[in-house]
Copies of this chain bind each other. A is one copy, B any other.
């Protein structure tokens, strides 16, 4: 259905605004993605928004028209509104001309097909949504199957994580589970669990990685709990030449993931 919204106090505006907060995303099971590029990525991956919000001052674009057509076809809503209402919805002073509302994906481990990919990323207590989005983007770059979020991580459906993922939120499978559940699931099938570690570990370069390889990275400031590292099949260490004893968690994930990719392909 196509309609226009002109009032700030319209309940749809309130609903859209509320999706910037985790509790409202959780309650409704919906999330926001902003901008034509991101929405086109989503569409090309087979994800269409249930609702498309357009600025009345948008420039015409064939990709936007294609998106509108597809959303209409699945019976979605198309809403036209003013730039200042879009500003209110997104909380940004120069909002994108188009915003989509998506249903959150199934994030159960049961939906992870581990044999479909050689590489899976696993983040434990990753707190920063920007880091989380960047890890998703890295996963997309190395051809990972997805990202498994263990323990209390940032919300992958937050506006910030979606934005930092540069569209990888739509290409990467996302699962969420407490550690015990993840570990039990992992051991119920094939899979090598690899951690970047400072403890008893082999050099990351040329280590014996096997597919499917689950690369585990820890919290930004605490690293991985010792007992999580202990049950890994392989602990690897990266050179640290400077004063610091660790890399940024997203950096460590990227360096390690590219090494695993080279190892599995070579």
- Contact pattern, A 184-221, Cβ under 8 Å of B = 1, otherwise 0: 00000000000000000000010000000000000000
- Tallying the copies of this chain within the complex gives 2
Q: Does A110 contact B (CB under 8 A)?
A: no
Q: Does A85 contact B (CB under 8 A)?
A: no
In the bound complex, residues from chain B placing their C-beta under 8 Å from that of A258 are: 238-239, 255, 259
Q: Are B137 and A248 in contact (CB under 8 A)?
A: yes
Once the chains are docked, how many angstroms separate the CA of A244 from the CA of B254?
Answer: 15
Q: Does A167 contact B (CB under 8 A)?
A: yes
CB-contact partner of A242 in B171, B241, B246, under 8 A: B171
In the bound complex, residues from chain B placing their C-beta under 8 Å from that of A254 are: 247, 251, 254-255
Q: How far is the CB of A33 from chain B (nearest CB, A)?
A: 14
In the bound complex, residues from chain B placing their C-beta under 8 Å from that of A130 are: 130
Q: How far is the CB of A35 from chain B (nearest CB, A)?
A: 12
Q: Does A45 contact B (CB under 8 A)?
A: yes
Q: Does A124 contact B (CB under 8 A)?
A: no
Q: List CB contacts (< 8 Å) of A224-240 with chain B.
A: 238-240
In the bound complex, residues from chain B placing their C-beta under 8 Å from that of A248 are: 134, 137-138, 164, 166, 250
Q: Are B138 and A251 in contact (CB under 8 A)?
A: yes
Q: How far is the CB of A85 from chain B (nearest CB, A)?
A: 27
Q: Are A143 and B242 in contact (CB under 8 A)?
A: yes
Q: Are A243 and B167 in contact (CB under 8 A)?
A: yes
If the complex has contacts A251-B250, A254-B255, are A168 and B242 also in contact, measured as CB distance less than 8 A? yes
Q: Are A140 and B244 in contact (CB under 8 A)?
A: yes
Q: Does A180 contact B (CB under 8 A)?
A: no
Q: Does A262 contact B (CB under 8 A)?
A: yes
Q: Does A141 contact B (CB under 8 A)?
A: yes
6 A-B pairs with least C-beta separation: A143-B241, A140-B242, A251-B254, A255-B258, A134-B248, A141-B247
Q: Does A112 contact B (CB under 8 A)?
A: no
Q: Does A142 contact B (CB under 8 A)?
A: yes
Q: Does A41 contact B (CB under 8 A)?
A: yes
Q: List CB contacts (< 8 Å) of A93-133 with chain B.
A: 130
CB-nearest residue of chain B relative to A130?
Answer: B130
CB-contact partner of A138 in B41, B142, B243, B247, under 8 A: B247
Q: Does A72 contact B (CB under 8 A)?
A: no
14 additional contacts (CB under 8 A) given A141-B242, A142-B241 = A45-B243, A130-B130, A138-B247, A141-B238, A141-B247, A164-B248, A166-B244, A167-B244, A171-B242, A205-B262, A238-B258, A239-B261, A254-B254, A255-B258
